[in-house]
Amino acid sequence: MLYFLDEGPKGPQRQTIAQEFCYKALSEGATYFNKSIENELFLQKQISDQTIKKLKTELSDAKEEFKG
């Protein structure tokens, strides 16, 4: 932002423009980060749900084998 203020076009609201640009870039970065984390958590939940289902099936089979 300092570079823009020093080297950018001169104008009455250049600091405001620079701040708005920085805020927008920060917001977009945070949104991207949040979406990435959300996708990763969704995948991890799917994997854990599949693992739980598999383990329950194995436990049920083991119980049946033990009884029989």
Separation of alpha carbons 68 and 63, rounded Å: 9
Q: What would the pLDDT profile of 9-67 be if each residue is shown by its tens digit?
A: 788 888 888 899 999 999 999 999 999 999 999 999 999 999 999 999 999 999 999 88
The reported pLDDT for the residue numbered 61 is: 95
Give helix then strand counts, H and E, for the chain. Answer: 2, 0
pTM score: 0.65
The domain limits of the chain are: 2-67
Contact call for residues 4 and 10 (beta carbons, < 8 A): no
What pLDDT band is residue 4 in, cutting at 50, 70 and 90? Answer: confident
